[in-house]
Amino acid sequence: MAFPITRLRRLRQSKIIRDMIRETEVDCDDLIMPYFVCPGTKVKNPIPSMPGNYQLSIDLLVKEVKDLVDRAGVHKILLFGIPEHKDETGEVACSHNAIVPQAIKAIKREVADVLIVADVCNCEYTVHGHCGTIVNGDVNNDLTLVTLASQSVTMAEAGADIIAPSDMMDGRVGAIRKALDDHGYTKTPIMAYSAKFASAFYGPFRDAAGSAPQFGDRSTYQMDPANGDEALREVEQDILEGADMVMVKPALSYLDVIQRVKTNFNIPVVAYNVSGEFSMVKAAGANGWVDEERMIKEILTSIKRAGADVIISYHAKEFGIKKRLEK
């Protein structure tokens, strides 16, 4: 650099110039807002570890999604279910009367312009809190594939726009793709949680979904946080099995993985800005330790800058509302 002829600060002298040359801009179209749906009517249970988030009954969820679209300009949601009853295998989630299929149908009836991503897993629906069928103290991979495939078809039949398996079983994308195709849902995309790490950042979510494992942990199926090369193998396998989009979860501690996935594979990349990341920002903001609004924008920008095409975030609604007010 030939200083003083080259002065990089010239392009930072005014907001107009900074806006003009900005490389990365997060827009509402990049965002997906997660929700937790529960049985009952007029139910709005606060989630203490996730301020501003709730377990919502279907009637209130429909109103909330309308508000998300109208006020925040965010048109994509991800649904998690809190069932009335659980079982050993998660079969309860495969019923057409299960909580998420009911919610999908209700939202589709009332909200015209919304895309629904249905999370497919068993941890919310099993009495033991693990992501599949337990045999000899561990999740049996191949038995779990049967339940996941059945659950996926039920979600598609209810009207889900995208199926998102989050279980981390080997072969589940292929099993789900075959089941969807066999039932005529050849146009339904799969958003695979391809590189999902066994992370400490999921704690608040497990409070929200009631999905904490009752014994052991998930390290035999979720990934070791130390492994980046293995993440690429997981992503590649899911692509070969038919994944239309791949996900890295969590986001902030895995920005390098997001970048490597984007660089190595010509496929849309989703990043999940998870509950623990959200709650840390909220706690620090509530204590006046950080500028919360600026921090949220910076975090989402960093995730997109790393290579994410789509960001799932509990900040989506508040970010969208502020974004609209800026315009």
Residues assigned a catalytic role: 196, 249
Contact 315, 278 (CB under 8 A): yes
Question: For 242-266, b where at least 16 C-beta lie within 10 A, e where not — what string?
Answer: bbbbbbbbbbbebbebbbbbbeebe
| One-character DSSP codes across 41-54 | SS-EEE-TTSTT-E
Alpha carbons 250 and 271: distance in angstroms, whole number: 7
Alpha carbons 109 and 95: distance in angstroms, whole number: 20
Which residues on adjacent β-strands are paired with residue 191? 245
**Helix %, strand %, coil % of the chain (to 5):** 45, 20, 35
CB neighbour list of residue 78: distance below 8 Å, 6 or more residues apart = 32, 33, 34, 35, 117, 118, 119, 164, 312
With tokens 């089941």, the residue in question is: 179
- The pair phi, psi for residue 305, each rounded to 5°, is -60, -35
Alpha carbons 296 and 284: distance in angstroms, whole number: 12
Angle CA(273)–CA(168)–CA(279) in degrees, nearest 5? 25
